[in-house]
Structure 1
Amino acid sequence: MTKDEQLAFEAALLVRAAAIETELRLLLDGRTLAGEIARPERLMAAMRHGVLNGGKRLRPFLVMESAALFAADGEAALRVAAALECVHCYSLIHDDLPSMDDDDLRRGQPTVHKAFDEATAILAGDALLTLAFDVLADEATALPAERRAALLLALARAAGAGGMVGGQTLDLEAERNRPGEAGIIRLQAMKTGALIRFACEAGAIIAGAAPQDRDRLAEFGSAVGLAFQLADDLLDLTADVSQMGKATGKDAAAGKATLVALHGTNWARAQLHGLVKQAHELLEPYGEEAALLKAAASFVAARNS
């Protein structure tokens, strides 16, 4: 990625992140919706703490830019992107719990269970997951009903037992019984990759694009997801707390199975190069319209936090 491409990507990421931040604040205010009875303030404060605490908003960016390939990055895409970020942030809140990774810091701030308490953190995560599906089902997400249904199904599959939650289960099991390479790839494709894959596929669904476009964007998302996890595992070994905004070195200390632990850092960096190349090639049919998505793939592989 050239310097100009990097600057263009970083500027676009900031613009998208600001739009998502505004949308999330609206979704997490205290006003009740039709059918709701009340929104307890402590619960809402915990939800806001877990969501409105910075972060690059990469997954929402991928939703918006994938939709932009088909000129569909409007208000509906923004709401879908915000819904996905709610799922992602719920997963972080639960992942930080004492019964999971037991982390005190997230994005440089106290985790939700530290800022509030464990029970409130669990409930905040539950509520964020539910809110995501509320947003997608709501007619305010102004898409044809069949597209909203397709998004609901795709996100449920990406987030549930066969996706992210199942991957977290495999990750916990891997601390006791370390899997081989195939098992690690499956674990990571579920725990980390599934939501990133959905983020890219969602743009095609939002736009009502052809099935082959949806498949191509999903494959792109799979490559980006694996690159993201490889880069994350490298950073866990090489970065410090000030860079990451959370504890580092915990995977190695816990004996967690990672591809970096299995093959070493040089192998991982070579794999990252190959994954970026694969991701870029998948986007070739879209020409210059895919420039920012290509830059996102390069950014994921080269990130330092």
Structure 2
Amino acid sequence: MDEKLITKPHKDPLPKFELEEYMAKMAKQINKALDEAVPLQNPQTLHEAMRYTFLAGGNRVFSTLCIASCELVGGNQSLAMPMACAMEMITTSAVILDDLPCMDNDDLRRGKPANHKVFGEAASVLGSHGLFCLAIEHFANKTENISPDRKLRAIVEICSAFGSEGALAGQITDLNSEGKEVNLSELEFIHRNKSGKFGEASTVCGAILGGGNEDEIARLRNYGMCVGLAYQVMDDILDATGNKNNKDQEGGRDLLRDKATYPKLIGVDESMKYARELVAQAIKELEYFDSVRAAPLYQMANFIVSGKC
């Protein structure tokens, strides 16, 4: 993945921005907030299962997108942090389910045994449900200085991203497509729902909580959907080629399960081209915003197609 990244089509010169430093700082703050949000308590096995997967590490891409979007429209980190934690809880809830034997049957997650390999399937299912419920409770209780209508709008957004018109729809369609021929439209439906909706919800919730107007929210919705879909396309590519940056992305898992993927349908090169087109669309939405505040989102979009996620 050494190809030249997309040139920024922004109307203003982009200021110097250290993405790795920014993401490391954000991950540290988000990890601290998550640790405090899900304390070890009785029943201990349940809470250990809830904590295990989201404390295993990761780039915190979606939660960072939430905070960056909030700051882009004039909000601050404290307004968005409860939602950033909720986003991590809900995406973790989803991956715990994805890894189960009845789903994708993965033994590893971020280089560690998957949740069900450590705690058993029953505790993992219950832990997944616990995280989803806690996500909404945590956001509702910990979010301050936000009007009730914006809080409610954000809750609807994040629940929709996970529900029967979001990640669950993508997952069931993905499972039903294994071993079958699917067209590009069907594949896009899977990917837009499995990861695209989480990218969209992250940026939209951030914009809502930051006080963004309808135009700003719409632009960040388009940005988030494109980035989320590009994230999933890159996941397909890295599974097909192997990812030395990701311990559990050794490659070939999708092929073994005969999953519908972009490399399978259009090849690795065309898949990479599509991912870059999505990132270009996302970046174009940022032209409307101040270039200094847009810098994190611009750099994170390029990070998605760098192969380092």
TM class by shorter chain equals over 0.9
**Which residue of structure 2 aligns with residue 185 of structure 1?**
188
Change in Cα spacing, 1:304 to 1:242, as seen in structure 2 (3 Å) is closer
Of 267, 271, 277, 1:268 maps to 271
What CA distance in whole angstroms lies between the structure 1 residues aligned with 2:243 and 2:277? 26
CA-to-aligned-CA distance 1:151-199 (integer Å, 9 cap, x gap): 1111111110000111101100111533210011111101111011100
Alpha-carbon shift at residue 14 of structure 1 (Å): 0.7
TM-score calculated relative to the size of structure 1: 0.92
Aligned partner of residue 243 in structure 1, secondary structure: coil
What CA distance in whole angstroms lies between the structure 2 residues aligned with 1:297 and 1:9? 11
**Which residue of structure 2 aligns with residue 295 of structure 1?**
299
CA contact (8 A) 1:178 1:256 kept: no
- Opposite residue 182 of structure 1, the aligned amino acid is S
CA contact (8 A) 1:6 1:295 kept: no
What is the number of residues matched between the two proteins? 297
**Which residue of structure 2 aligns with residue 151 of structure 1?**
154
Of 25, 29, 32, 1:19 maps to 29
CA-to-aligned-CA distance 1:36-93 (integer Å, 9 cap, x gap): xxx3111111111111111110001000000010231232301100000000011111
Moved more, 106-115 or 235-244: 235-244
- Opposite residue 201 of structure 1, the aligned amino acid is V
Change in Cα spacing, 1:76 to 1:297, as seen in structure 2 (3 Å) is same
Alpha-carbon shift at residue 140 of structure 1 (Å): 4.3
CA contact (8 A) 2:82 2:142 kept: no
What CA distance in whole angstroms lies between the structure 1 residues aligned with 2:270 and 2:15? 26
**Which residue of structure 1 aligns with residue 10 of structure 2?**
none
**Which residue of structure 1 aligns with residue 282 of structure 2?**
279
Moved more, 216-225 or 138-147: 138-147
Change in Cα spacing, 1:143 to 1:9, as seen in structure 2 (3 Å) is same
Change in Cα spacing, 1:106 to 1:5, as seen in structure 2 (3 Å) is farther
- Opposite residue 95 of structure 1, the aligned amino acid is D
Matched-pair identity in %: 31
- Opposite residue 116 of structure 2, the aligned amino acid is H
Change in Cα spacing, 1:266 to 1:5, as seen in structure 2 (3 Å) is farther
TM-score calculated relative to the size of structure 2: 0.91
CA contact (8 A) 2:17 2:296 kept: no
**Which residue of structure 2 aligns with residue 111 of structure 1?**
114
CA-to-aligned-CA distance 1:189-222 (integer Å, 9 cap, x gap): 0111101110011111002211111110000011
Alignment map for 1:162-241 (pairs within 5 Å)? 162-239=165-242
Aligned partner of residue 18 in structure 2, secondary structure: helix
What CA distance in whole angstroms lies between the structure 2 residues aligned with 1:301 and 1:22? 28
Alpha-carbon shift at residue 143 of structure 1 (Å): 1.6
What CA distance in whole angstroms lies between the structure 1 residues aligned with 2:304 and 2:143? 32
Alignment map for 1:80-159 (pairs within 5 Å)? 80-138=83-141, 140-159=143-162
- Opposite residue 215 of structure 1, the aligned amino acid is A
What CA distance in whole angstroms lies between the structure 2 residues aligned with 1:161 and 1:49? 26
Of structures 1 and 2, the one scoring higher in RCO (CA 8 A, sep 6+) is 2
**Which residue of structure 2 aligns with residue 45 of structure 1?**
48
Moved more, 174-183 or 61-70: 174-183
**Which residue of structure 2 aligns with residue 28 of structure 1?**
38
Change in Cα spacing, 1:111 to 1:9, as seen in structure 2 (3 Å) is same
What CA distance in whole angstroms lies between the structure 1 residues aligned with 2:234 and 2:16? 18
Change in Cα spacing, 1:11 to 1:248, as seen in structure 2 (3 Å) is same
Aligned partner of residue 103 in structure 2, secondary structure: coil
Change in Cα spacing, 1:262 to 1:286, as seen in structure 2 (3 Å) is same
What CA distance in whole angstroms lies between the structure 2 residues aligned with 1:287 and 1:5? 11
Aligned partner of residue 101 in structure 2, secondary structure: coil
Change in Cα spacing, 1:295 to 1:5, as seen in structure 2 (3 Å) is farther
Runs of 5+ unmatched residues, structure 2: 8-13
Alpha-carbon shift at residue 249 of structure 1 (Å): 0.9
When the two chains are superposed, the root-mean-square deviation of aligned CA atoms in Å is: 1.9
Of 5, 18, 24, 1:8 maps to 18
- Opposite residue 112 of structure 1, the aligned amino acid is N
